[in-house]
Amino acid sequence: MTDFLSLAAPGVRQLKPYQPGKPIEELERELGVSNIIKLASNENPLGPSPLALTAARAALEDVWLYPDGNGFVLKDKLKQKLGVAMEQLILGNGSSDILDFAVRAFVTPQDEVMFSEHAFAVYPILTQAAGARAVVVPAKNWGHDLTAMRSAITERTRLIFIANPNNPTGTWLPAAELEAFIADLPAHVLVLVDEAYFEYASYPAMGAADYPDAIAWVGRYPNLIVARTFSKCYGLAGLRVGYGVCHPQVADLMNRVRPPFNVNSLALAAAAAALDDSEHLQQTLALNAAGMDQLTAGFASLDLRHIPSVGNFVSVDTGRTAAPLYDALLREGVIVRPVANYGMPNHLRVTIGLPEENARFLAALAKVLGR
């Protein structure tokens, strides 16, 4: 029999696939639990905008046609909203596509890709798949240590991933610090600022007054790529649509490795419509801020510490190995996210849900903790 492992690309042989949050249906099959709440994958508990749903349903009529491979309508709306040129935009099947395109367009096995400890698990996966060397810089207070990252740059450094805010810690970098880092990069280094949670972090009630809008810097720094998504605050995780903003030449190179028709017709229509629904967006952001207060107050009442976060999630220190607590919560019908694979064995990451879901989680957490 053929040894397919020997046929695989060297970077792929030792890879472990990305593990998403446990689906509700899987927990039902495994434990026979019903009435489940899922607070594991940073999804919007309000779901998508009604305008987005209406647009997606209308797009169903034409699913026998290929989508617009250039995504003109969505790009045009993004151009107007963000104040960028059309040729600076690239669309992806989720923002993870944008990360992948950056690696495939610019990184070779002779290069290094840098990211922080506790950063998004897709960064090392993409780096290893490309056969490049991963440079993992130790975190500072659960977040990026930009001074250490600058010191770790070598002639082989080609791409730096910076998640702002970071997932799963929720930490963020202030504008002055991040821009100074970008401005000081050597010409051969590209930096991708991953702003998947931008809308949450920039909402005033989250308290991050110094949180930046990195897209505003793209015109000044041609080596800057900014990635955002419709999966989080816009509630379109199931349709998979994201985008990147960068220098036109960088976008052109990334488009060369982008598969044709990578964003489907329903996603394009829903995302474009979602941008028109400011009311739904504001409801989402207000709900998230209130939910953050609800969860963190609950942690304090249980005498648990958490990592301050400006995303739609928060990581709580359980004071012990969290895996058994995660399993016990599953039996209570509550799905959260263990993050031992991020070097955080005592933490659980919890997505902010509806008020009643947050309350149920806190009650279940108190129960499994024996409080």
Q: What is the mean pLDDT of residues 270-280?
A: 98
Q: Is the pLDDT of residue 8 over 90?
A: no
Q: Among the three residues 277, 302, 336, which one is the final residue of a domain in this structure?
A: 277
Give the rounded percent of residues in the chain with a pLDDT score beyond 70.
98
Last residue of a domain, one of 277, 300, 325: 277
Q: Which residue has the higher pLDDT, 103 or 35?
A: 103
Q: pTM to 2 decimals?
A: 0.94
CB of 50 within 8 A of CB of 236? no
Does residue 162 share a domain with residue 73? yes
Question: Which residue, 129, 89, 73, is CA-closest to 255?
Answer: 89
Q: 183 and 298 in one domain?
A: no
- pLDDT tens profile 230-266: 999 999 999 999 999 999 999 999 999 999 999 999 9
Instruction: Specify whether 261 is located in the same domain as 306.
Output: no
* Both structure tokens of 331: 């039996």
Which residue has tokens 């600058």? 150
pLDDT at 363: 97
What's the domain count of the chain?
A: 2
The domain spanning residue 299 has which CATH number? 3.90.1150.10
- State which residues form the domain around 142: 50-277
Q: Are 335 and 352 in a shared domain?
A: yes
286 and 165 in one domain? no
Q: What are the pLDDT digits (tens) for 348-362?
A: 999 999 999 999 999
Q: Is the pLDDT of residue 364 over 80?
A: yes
- Shared-domain flag, residues 227 and 202: yes
Quick one: what percent of the chain has pLDDT higher than 90?
90
- pLDDT confidence bin for 18, thresholds 50/70/90: low
Q: Which of 225, 259, 277 is the last residue of a domain?
A: 277
Co-location of 176 and 268 in the same domain: yes
Cα separation, 22 vs 154, in Å, equals 39
Per-residue pLDDT of 141-196, as tens digits, reads 999 999 999 999 999 999 999 999 999 999 999 999 999 999 999 999 999 999 99
Verify that 176 and 317 share a domain, yes or no: no
Query: Cα(122)–Cα(128) distance, rounded to whole angstroms?
Result: 10
Binned at pLDDT 50, 70 and 90, residue 15 comes out as low
Q: Are residues 331 and 200 in the same domain?
A: no
Residue 241 belongs to a domain with what CATH number? 3.40.640.10
Contact 97, 262 (CB under 8 A): yes
Residues 33 and 146 in one domain: no
Alpha helices in the chain (DSSP H): 4-7, 10-13, 24-31, 50-59, 72-82, 95-106, 122-129, 146-151, 175-183, 198-201, 248-257, 265-274, 278-301, 323-331, 355-369
Confidence of residue 5 (pLDDT cuts 50, 70, 90): confident
* Domain match, 158 and 284 both: no
Residues 120 and 267 in one domain: yes
